[in-house]
């Protein structure tokens, strides 16, 4: 697949499809396409996978984009596009981060830890992506890839967790004592991830952006 990342702070993905070449995309992230690129709604992965995506707040249908031509995708918020090449390991990702993938990637959905979702904000719904091929995600802010060694554990504020490899164990950890939880100006809990594999974190989140804007909105009397 021919592709390039355009821009810097508001980065987007530009895919150049060969004749009859096909990719899956999330239609909500589509910016533009060439006239020759056809789009067809597909229940990627079958009805059960499509239903799980709908229940977990993503999209029932994916769009199948078929070349020849170019198609551009991005998020409405500033950030970076991340390419992950899947082979033996799948990944679990933030459910709103999916941009596109090769058709060899199965896009499923998973209900993450309910407790982590309630207290961690964005962490309840996870996109489950597996297969052999290229996957593209969009992260709000910058992206940092962390390689965990066997037995290593990190704590990530839930709204800053972009993705992690399957096989890593994850749960929730309280953010310090009661005083820290009440006055620390952070989420009540962190997502703790342990094992051997890759974790991708992002420097910002939709929650951060929303709270920053909210501070400057006029307050109703």
**Full-model pTM:** 0.81
Three-state helix/strand/coil letters over the chain:
CEEEEECCCECEEEEEECCCCEEEECHHHEEEECCCCEEEEECCCCHHHHHHHHHCCCCCCEEEEECCEEEEECCCCCEEEEEEEECCCCEEEECCCEEEEECCEEEEEEECCHHHHHHHCCCCEEEEEEECEEEEEEEEECEEEEEEEEEEEEEEEHHHEEEEECCCEEEEEECCCHHHHHHCCCCCEEEEEEEEEEEEEECCCHHHHHHHHHCCCCCCC
All structural domains of the chain: 2-213 (3.60.160.10)
pLDDT > 90: percent of the chain: 48
133-173 per-position pLDDT tens digit: 999 999 999 999 999 999 899 999 888 899 999 999 988 77
């Amino acid at each position: 697949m021919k592709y390039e990342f355009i821009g810097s702070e508001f980065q987007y993905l530009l895919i150049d499809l060969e004749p009859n070449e096909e990719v899956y995309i999330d239609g909500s992230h589509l910016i533009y396409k060439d006239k020759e690129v056809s789009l067809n709604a597909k229940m990627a992965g079958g009805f059960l996978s499509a239903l799980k995506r709908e229940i977990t707040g993503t999209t029932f249908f994916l769009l199948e984009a078929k070349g020849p031509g170019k198609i551009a995708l991005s998020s409405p918020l500033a950030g970076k596009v991340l390419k992950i090449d899947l082979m033996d390991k799948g990944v679990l990702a933030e459910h709103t981060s999916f941009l596109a993938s090769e058709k060899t990637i199965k896009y499923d959905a998973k209900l993450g830890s309910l407790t982590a979702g309630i207290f961690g904000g964005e962490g309840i719904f996870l996109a489950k992506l597996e297969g052999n091929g290229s996957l593209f995600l969009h992260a709000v802010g910058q992206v940092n890839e962390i390689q965990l060694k066997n037995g290593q554990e990190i704590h990530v504020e839930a709204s800053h967790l972009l993705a992690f490899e399957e096989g890593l164990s994850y749960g929730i950890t309280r953010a310090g004592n009661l005083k820290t939880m009440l006055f620390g100006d952070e989420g009540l809990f962190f997502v703790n991830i342990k094992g051997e594999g890759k974790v991708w974190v992002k420097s910002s989140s939709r929650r951060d952006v929303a709270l920053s804007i909210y501070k400057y909105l006029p307050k109703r009397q």
